Structure 1
Amino acid sequence: MELQKMNGHGNDDGFDGLDALAERDEFLPHKGGGKKEIQFMDSEGKTSFGMSIFNLSNAIMGSGILGLAFAMSNTGIILFIILLICIAILSAYSIHLLLKSAGVVGIRAYEQLGNRAFGRPGKMLAGCIITVHNIGAMSSYLFIVKSELPLVIQAFLGKHEKTEEWFLEGNYLIIIVSAAIILPLALMRRLGYLGYTSGFSLSCMVFFLISVIYKKFNIPCPLVEEHVNTTGIDFTHTNATDDVCEAKLFTINSQTAYTIPILAFAFVCHPEVLPIYTELRDATKKRMQKIANISILAMFVMYLLTALFGYLTFFTVVESELLHTYSKVDPLDKLILCVRLAVLVAVTLTVPVVLFPIRRAVLQIFFPDKPFSWATHIVIAIVLIFIVNLLVIFVPSIRDIFGLIGATSAPSLIFILPGIFYIRIVPEEQEPLRSKPKIQAACFAAVGFIFMIMSLSFIIIDWVSGESRSPGGH
């Protein structure tokens, strides 16, 4: 239903009345005799409020959490907290723009918002960005499986050196994990069914957080004699009063600028927002925004505590991957082995959640009018998992490639697309171009362009200097 000819209601929230009307007419089943027009992947919504929170929180939570302590070491505690708060608020505002745009035109697909805003080019652009970004995210998760799972198996078997057994080969392991765990979960028809696995995945990350807090009070600084960090600093020759064991409130160095990309990537969940909205029971914009706010707040707390206690454990010598830092301290620590296993479970169970928006984008681009087909549903999942496995197995420098992808797709999904979609979709009769909400949306999109240019510049500088300092993405 097109609402461009309707007048506003003059409330502060702008389109609340229009949103409710759009949702009543477009999203929810009609109780009268009229037949409701079928939307893409339309469903009445069967996923509970709590399960939706689990799914969105799991979509937010990514491998980037392992690099937050490193980010704090390059900004200081106060500056890091300020940046984390800003990114969390901007992410929530971005979701607000998406939901408001969806409410105006009665659409709950990111690609269809692009189609409404700019026609088929907008639809193709949104679909391609979502596909590229989420393939990058899936690959980053499977890279963790490829590198960490052999070490965990080796440690539990009591082997001190890696041997040639096939079950210690990372390439074989990711194929087995993909076929035995990821594929069956990815074949589920609705994303809401993954709420249970998402809840378990989040519980694994909570265990990771508890372990980081516990280790803060069990690892001394400076470290004991045999523990030498890979940064080259030997703690046995360092006085405890030196800067090595002193927390910084504000710090600026050559790697401080990487903090914003790390934090932005850590909050990317926007491709999953509208699919989760579609399957939400008793769906309204206000209800979905509440889910987004709770999820972002929960991840904000987890991110802050993980970064703070990880940083206060190792201070300036924390490495870009927090688990690696613990392993350097005590490779045989049973608790850290359990934590590594928990992180492996968490990222593995996140892959199917990330796959759903890619499949949705592929269907929107190639089969926009085709009804649901199990054959298509299954084939797309198998092909996507196959492609990601090939990338993880055969591309050794995948980190730089996904750094480039992340520098372009993350700001597009968080800042640029929600802002320009809102400007184009909300009718000028309701909000003129010079109205405060549209000016804010324009500034929001401009911030995304600036962020993209900065991120690409840092990556190019890294490539030119031959270094890879960034600890990774989402």
Structure 2
Amino acid sequence: MGSNYKPIPKDSSVELQSKDQNNHGSQNPKSSHIVDDLDYDDLNDEIDFDHLPLVIVPKEDSASSSGSGIYGAVFNLSTSVIGAGIMALPATMKVLGLIVGLILIFLMGILSEISVELLVRFAVQSKSNSYGEVVQEALGKPARILSEICIIVNNAGVLVVYLIIIGDVMSGSLRHTGVFDQWLGNGFWDHRKIVILVVVIICLAPLCALNKIDSLSTTSAASVALAVVFVLVAFIVAFIKLLEGKIGTPRLTPDFGSEKAILDLLVVIPIMSNAYVCHFNVQPIYNELENRSPQKMNKVGRLTTALCVTIYASTAIAGYLLFGKDTESDILTNFDRPLGVRFSTALTYIVRVGYVFHLVLVFPVIHFSLRQTVDALVFDGSAPLSESRKRCLGLTFVLLAVVYLGSTMIPSIWTAFKFTGATTAVSLGFTFPALIALRLSSQGPGLSSRERFLAWLMLSLAVMVSVVGVVGNVYSLQSKSE
């Protein structure tokens, strides 16, 4: 049978491609590069459509030439993990004791890394480009809407916590002196609401108004560096005081001797699970990974887990050893007093002001995911947010206003972490990934017996933590009101 088509030479750079290859994150993922790279001069302005190849490969494949490397991906994912949750970890040591607390830090880190691997594997298998898409593929559209609501509540809660910490550190609280008081004395800066409002308008609004997360890469790098400075200072001071014999004997196990201690135990485990939630940023980071593959992303997840577990464990131990039974739910507020070492005053300023700047620089990254999720939920089917500057700015300022109001009504980060940790954080970090793996395993290579056991274990633990955390929180509020 005759045909006008000729075979493509073996030495040609032309080859067929899968329709989804290298199109993650594009507005039209099914489109292909067809005639964009043709050299019209060589063709003398004449194209023989009978001999035109189906697909022409660009001279430089964007997936391999412009993606991020493994360590860049580790940095981005670590930025999503290391935030305000680190400030509550020393207080969890006061409740759980060092031994049980450290075990939980390592256990939650390992389970979180496993859940990330499962999420990546089945997102790739289902060709999903976001957390919501893989949830919809596995559990349907109602579940996707629920997952997006969880992301909104979780991210908004985290941003509220950031503002609470900034306000407490800079303007002070009932029991602690703020940085401005120490520098300038009494004034309008004593009012936390005013300080937070000024920070939102002057520092946060310009950064949050950016419509591309790539624009925040430099600020993210600076934020991680500031977090490491805090950890190093706290660890070094604790080590010096330990050598000098100025640190008392710490609690090693939980205290079951009072009703209050039991209530604290019920709510502290969800706070631990909140510290590792980064799953809503996993897929965007994977999409930008150079020569991406599930194996590379698994390596990113493991390196990130190792880094975050090390930082979390060091902070929890150092903070609790420094302040013991006086450890506050926000450890930064403990640094308004002398530390008992040389250059104590300078170190307290470095720790507090440095971490405030860290939160200011991390805030826009979390806000970006919050804004994208709200847009996907409210304006489903509309043009991409990057193409509508008015909608982008409108959502930005509305969300900043809501987060600001939340920070003025919630008294402490402990209160915020108790509820988000027991509900949305557990769902995003463990419940949804486990359900996705169990549901989609029948559509591909499937799960090994060990992986299936881990998925069921995560799901069971997530349900228990959620139920116990919610019951403990409600009972705790009732006890305080009586």
**TM bin (shorter chain):** 0.7 to 0.9
Deviating more after overlay: 62-71 vs 334-343: 62-71
In the alignment, the residues of structure 2 paired with residue 179 and residue 43 of structure 1 have an alpha-carbon distance, to the nearest angstrom, of: 40
Structure with max Cα Rg: 2
CA contact (8 A) 1:431 1:437 kept: no
In the alignment, the residues of structure 2 paired with residue 35 and residue 408 of structure 1 have an alpha-carbon distance, to the nearest angstrom, of: 49
Deviation at 1:319, TM superposition (A): 3.2
**Mapping of 1:55-70 within 5 angstroms?**
55-70=76-91
CA contact (8 A) 1:391 1:398 kept: no
Q: Residue 364 of structure 2 aligns to which amino acid in structure 1? A: P
In the alignment, the residues of structure 2 paired with residue 102 and residue 380 of structure 1 have an alpha-carbon distance, to the nearest angstrom, of: 28
CA-atom RMSD in angstroms: 3.3
Q: Residue 293 of structure 1 aligns to which amino acid in structure 2? A: R
Question: Is residue 336 from structure 1 mapped to residue 348 from structure 2 by the alignment?
Answer: yes
Partner of 1:209: 231
Deviations 1:182-212 (A, max 9, x none): 2222233332332221111111111111221
Deviations 1:317-347 (A, max 9, x none): 4333323333245698231122110111111
Question: Is residue 411 from structure 1 mapped to residue 426 from structure 2 by the alignment?
Answer: yes
With a CA cutoff of 8 Å and minimum separation of 6, indicate the structure with the bigger relative contact order: 1
Partner of 1:131: 152
Q: Residue 197 of structure 1 aligns to which amino acid in structure 2? A: T
Q: Residue 215 of structure 1 aligns to which amino acid in structure 2? A: V
For structure 2, list consecutive stretches of 5 or more residues without a partner in the other structure. Answer: 1-17, 35-53, 58-62, 172-177
Distance 1:314 1:330, change over 3 A: closer
CA contact (8 A) 2:277 2:428 kept: yes
CA contact (8 A) 1:79 1:249 kept: yes
CA contact (8 A) 2:168 2:333 kept: no
Q: Residue 153 of structure 1 aligns to which amino acid in structure 2? A: F
Distance 1:45 1:182, change over 3 A: farther
Q: Residue 422 of structure 2 aligns to which amino acid in structure 1? A: A
CA contact (8 A) 2:286 2:292 kept: yes
Question: Is residue 154 from structure 1 mapped to residue 181 from structure 2 by the alignment?
Answer: yes
Give the secondary-structure state (helix, strand or coil) at the position aligned to 1:71. helix
Give the secondary-structure state (helix, strand or coil) at the position aligned to 1:333. helix
Q: Residue 442 of structure 1 aligns to which amino acid in structure 2? A: W
**Mapping of 1:301-316 within 5 angstroms?**
301-316=310-325
Deviation at 1:76, TM superposition (A): 3.0
CA contact (8 A) 1:66 1:323 kept: yes
Deviations 1:259-300 (A, max 9, x none): 422221111111122222233343322222222222221111
Percent identity reads 25
In the alignment, the residues of structure 2 paired with residue 78 and residue 397 of structure 1 have an alpha-carbon distance, to the nearest angstrom, of: 26
Deviations 1:54-74 (A, max 9, x none): 222121112221222222233
Partner of 2:291: 282
Deviation at 1:125, TM superposition (A): 0.6
In the alignment, the residues of structure 1 paired with residue 252 and residue 419 of structure 2 have an alpha-carbon distance, to the nearest angstrom, of: 31
Deviation at 1:258, TM superposition (A): 4.1
In the alignment, the residues of structure 2 paired with residue 156 and residue 62 of structure 1 have an alpha-carbon distance, to the nearest angstrom, of: 26
Distance 1:86 1:188, change over 3 A: same
Q: Residue 385 of structure 1 aligns to which amino acid in structure 2? A: L
Q: Residue 118 of structure 2 aligns to which amino acid in structure 1? A: L
Distance 1:220 1:276, change over 3 A: closer
Deviations 1:378-421 (A, max 9, x none): 22222211211122235558864663233110110111111112
TM-score with structure 1 setting the length: 0.78
Partner of 2:51: none
Q: Residue 92 of structure 2 aligns to which amino acid in structure 1? A: A
In the alignment, the residues of structure 2 paired with residue 394 and residue 262 of structure 1 have an alpha-carbon distance, to the nearest angstrom, of: 20
State how many pairs are aligned: 418
CA contact (8 A) 1:204 1:343 kept: yes
In the alignment, the residues of structure 1 paired with residue 348 and residue 479 of structure 2 have an alpha-carbon distance, to the nearest angstrom, of: 34
Deviating more after overlay: 45-54 vs 138-147: 45-54
Deviations 1:340-374 (A, max 9, x none): 10111111111111112222212322334333223
Q: Residue 140 of structure 1 aligns to which amino acid in structure 2? A: V
In the alignment, the residues of structure 1 paired with residue 390 and residue 321 of structure 2 have an alpha-carbon distance, to the nearest angstrom, of: 51
In the alignment, the residues of structure 1 paired with residue 412 and residue 352 of structure 2 have an alpha-carbon distance, to the nearest angstrom, of: 23
Partner of 1:143: 164
Partner of 1:447: 461
Question: Is residue 267 from structure 1 mapped to residue 276 from structure 2 by the alignment?
Answer: yes
CA contact (8 A) 1:48 1:280 kept: yes
TM-score with structure 2 setting the length: 0.77
**Mapping of 1:61-140 within 5 angstroms?**
61-140=82-161
Partner of 1:174: 196
